[in-house]
Structure formats: structure tokens, C-alpha cells
Structure 1
């Protein structure tokens, strides 16, 4: 088996005059969760369909589990894929159990495993009801169950938590974490960034078919140079000013009350400021919040559009 679950080398996809995906190189390791983010039309679906073998690349090389997905038709190889599309649909008149057993047979997995998954996604009570009676959240859970069939080595999830309540969302991420531990490579596409943040190893941000950023959240924070937010209690604004006298790190004071302050500090200097504040006996509480995934996403998208606007402006002069 290949060292990587997915290997992309200068992979691109063009539709006549539309550049759906510009040349992209990327390796995804076994046991890694890659978060894939971007607006509609950014190229996310195109990339997922290329990896699944639904689309043929315009150029470049692609290997999935060591094989080219367009030329390899081996059943055992295909059975190691798990996929949940954005808009899941099933045969309306079949029961949930019949649907999942149908997919289990297609992928060569046991019917007992299908029944166990119905329990795991909390659909056992409705397993023998027709799918047409299912709510949106129940259909989504059934879709997740079919994606998890057979402990896949590659799992591609497109907006997997749509329609799920908070408890079901928590259970879903627990299942993803378990598959990751077993060595499954997961590509997770979602617009609900706060939920995703604690479950991905790397994030890739796309726009107009181009890769804007790729790396761990810590790496992206350093690249973006976004500030870290501090919330300090126990010090008045004058006491805080005195405590931080000589520290030029504070860039923006966001909010100040009688004994609490909220301000930002350049991320590389957060430890210096934090240690200094903790040494002050009057400090009763200190919260340090690094730039969120949502803030990073906004930054990279905004930066890309700013550069594009500048480039077009130069071109018209």
C-alpha cells in the first residue's frame, strides 16, 4: 500500500473555458483529517469527485490508496471508500434497514455490520420504517451510516452535519475521531467552521479553484499573523496600562470595563504578555483565545479577493 492515502501532483480540471481546479499538489496521510473549505464554486466538489474517480483530471497525476481511481475497477479497492454527498437521497419506499443492507451488499460488507451502524447513528427505533417517513436529520444519519460501512480507509464527507441536532453532531465527530484513530484518511467539507475546528489536522482553503492556504491551524495562524485575543479580569484600565507599561505588543483595546479588559496581542508575543499578566497578583481571571478557523477563513478569502482586485486594476491601466 502507498505511503499516503491520497496523492495529488499538479492535478487540474477544466471545463472548456472554466478553470474549476488549478494545478494542485497535495498528500493526505492515513489517519489524517483534512478540512476542505471555500465558498460555493470554489472547487471543493470538483476535487472530491476527482478523488472518487467520478471525474477525469485535465492534467496532473492522482493516486488513491496507491491506484488511479479512473482506471482501477477492483471491487476490493472500491469497498474501502466511504462517501456522503451534500444532498443525500435514498429509495423512498425502502426502510432504513433495507437501504443500508443494500449498500452493504454492494460494498461486500456484512448485514450485521449494517444493523450495528443503525444502532450507532440512533436509527434502530426507525430502522424498519420507510425512508419517506424520515425527517431531514434522520436521512442525514442514514447517509452517515452508509458512508461508515466497512470501516473505510478513505472517507469523504460533504456537509455531513446538515440537519443534525447538537447531540447527533457530537456523536458524528466521535465516529470520525474513532475512524481517524484506526488509520482512515478523512476529507471533511463543511461551512459550520466552529464545529470542525477541533477535529481536523490540517485545513485547506480554496477559492475560484485555487489553493489559498494549506496547513495546521497553528501554521495558518503564523502565516496570517492574526492577533490573539486576551480577556483579563481584576485590573482596571489604568492598572492594566501600568502592568503592561513598556510592552508595545498590545495592538488594539477592544473593550474595557471597571475591572476587566479585552485586547489583542500579536500571536508570536502572546506567551510573553500572558506570563507577565499571570505574575500580577490582582489578576483574577485570564482567558487567551487564538484566531479561530472562521477568522482565518475570512482573512485568506479577503486577502485573495483584494489581490485579485488589485491585479485587475493594474491590468486596466
Structure 2
């Protein structure tokens, strides 16, 4: 799905960005961006530094207003008269965390709960859920590692059971096990109908974790869709690698697409996504030990869309 085809109707949407432009000092940080985020959906927002991701999040939070266009959060203006009430329904994890070093983890979370106007009764369980058990929760934040501060930031974002959650580089500093825990939490939130927006440079780990991916470049939305949508739109080649049969036989079946690897044990080919099934049919008639099919990664898709935009 491309940018111009996106339906930004506000019906039942958690967030609607309707043809929004934001200008700073005669420079457009965003240029006629339109998108919507729905309940129970996890959306990845990707783009290099300066692409407009932070400006979009600030608009959704109501911290700034658009120069042109309209922003709606849960059906209302996030910077309007009901901004304080709306923010109780929103969780936000900023990219750069700053907590008071003299407070403990538990005291920090209690402080943010009071600030947000929500109960503190579940804070111990919330800290434990993000990997800050009782002993860690009693330590001063000044002694925390970067990963521990990131976990505390995630707990802060989850206060009050938000309906909409904005997470900016949420897995920075987390080890692989804790990244898995983080995505388990995201899946639970999606199942509960929460809207989750992830802004991240860690493209590889986003594959399989999000419903949609929005690609930004220089303040413009250049792609928006599922990973399957983006692969279809980019039409990058699929890599197929076959092992087990005589290399010459495999190469003959694949024709000019084939490349025999130097050791002669495997044959590889690149083919268009639309030709993948036909190639696999030819290979399945051979006595193969294995067939590996590698679709274009999100990193490759992202690079492709940037190159296409620059060429245009």
C-alpha cells in the first residue's frame, strides 16, 4: 500500500494524521503526511535520523501542533482542551531516558504514577514484569545499567493501562532475552486492543513483530503496509539455495538463473517473487537434501525505498 492510497478516516481509529505538514524555520519537517493507527495494531515507524519520526510522535502526543492538517488522538485534538485527560490514556517511552539518580526504581515509578493520576497498587508487579524484581526495584536509579533504565522506562510507559502506546527505540540496551520479554508484552497489549507504535532503527528484529511498517524519508511517508505488501511493492528478488542433488542437475533445472557455489555442494539463484513457486516446483522433482528460501529483509526493503525516493 503506498502513501497516497492510505485511508485516514477517523472512524474507530486510535490515531489519525490527516494531511499534516509541520514547518520549522521555513523547513518542512513533515510534508502532507496521512496515516491512521487502529486498536489492537502494532505499527513500526522507521526512517533515518531527520526523517520526521520524532516530529510525528510529538504531534500525536500533543506536544506540538501541525502547521497544516489535523491530528486526532482517540477522536480528539491531543493539544486541545482535553489534553491532560487524553494523556492518561497514553503511554510514552522516549528515546533518551532521564530519571533522578537518587530515587529507587520503585520510588521513580510511584512518582510517575502520581504525576499521571493513576493508582500505585500494581507498580511492584509492573516492575517485576519488565525484569526489575524486588531487589532491583529497591536500588537507586543512579546504580542502574542502561538496560535496567530502559526497563524502568518501559514500566513507566505502561502505567495506567494505556490505550495507545508510543515507544521510541524501546529495545536499546536490552539483551536478547529481555528483547523477547518486551515483544511478549507487546503481543499481550495488542491482544488487549492497545495501539502500539514502535519507532526503531533495529529493523531486523521488527520482522514478524508488527502488523504494519511505515517508512519515512525527509518528512514524507514513502511506504506503508505489511511486510508482504512492502515486498510486493519493492519487487526485490528472492534468494533460493538448494543442496543435496548433483549441482549440475540442479543448475540445469534452474537454467540461466543458477549459480553453482565454489565448493560445488549447493546451487543458488535469484528470482522474481512472482516466479518463486515455479522455481520451487522444478526443484521439488530432484533428490534434494534441503531448500532454503530467503525473502528480502526489512533492511533491504528500507534501503530500496530510500534509493527509489532519492532517484525520483
Q: After TM superposition, is the score higher than 0.5?
A: yes
The SS at the match of 1:198 is coil
Mapped partners of 2:306, 2:259: distance in 1? 25
Q: What residue is the counterpart of 1:238 in the other structure?
A: 248
Q: How far is the alpha carbon of 1:80 from its aligned partner?
A: 1.0
Q: Could you tell me which of 202, 206, 211 is aligned with 2:221?
A: 211
1:279 aligns with 2:285: yes
Distance 1:6 1:22 in 2: 18
* Deviations 1:194-236 (CA, angstroms, capped at 9, x unpaired): 1111111111111110111111111111111101111111134
1:101 matched to which residue of 2? 110
- Between 104-113 and 9-18, the greater mean CA deviation after superposition: 104-113
Is the Cα–Cα contact under 8 Å of residues 256 and 262 in structure 1 kept in the other structure? no
Q: Give me the whole-angstrom Cα distance separating, in 1, the residues matched to 2:253 and 2:290.
A: 15
Structure 1 position 122, deviation (Å): 1.3
Is 1:151–1:179's contact at 8 Å kept on the other side of the alignment? Answer: no
* Match in the other structure for 2:69: 60
Matches within 5 A, 1:1-317: 2-73=11-82, 75-124=84-133, 125-245=135-255, 250=257, 253=259, 255=261, 257-280=263-286, 282-307=287-312
**Distance (Å, rounded) in 2 between the aligned partners of 1:23 and 1:274:** 43
Deviation at 1:76, TM superposition (A): 4.0
Unaligned residue ranges in structure 1 (runs of 5+) = 308-317
Separation in structure 2 between the aligned mates of residue 254 and residue 64 of structure 1, nearest angstrom: 55
Quote the offset at 1:114 in angstroms: 1.4
Deviation at 1:79, TM superposition (A): 1.0
> Residues 33 and 201 of structure 1 are in contact (CA less than 8 Å); yes or no, is this contact kept in structure 2?
yes
How many angstroms apart in 2 are the aligned matches of 1:235 and 1:163?
A: 45
Q: TM-score when scaled to structure 2?
A: 0.92
Where 2:208 maps in the other structure, the secondary structure is helix
Q: Secondary structure at the match of 2:118?
A: coil
- Report the count of equivalent residues: 302
Secondary structure in 1 aligned to 2:240? strand
Cα distance 1:2–1:92, how it changes in 2: closer, same or farther (>3 A)?
farther
Deviation beyond 3 Å, 4+ runs, structure 1: 252-257
Residues 1:237 and 1:46: Cα distance change in structure 2 (over 3 Å): same
Structure 2 gap ranges (5+): 1-9
Q: In structure 2, what is the equivalent of residue 310 of structure 1?
A: none
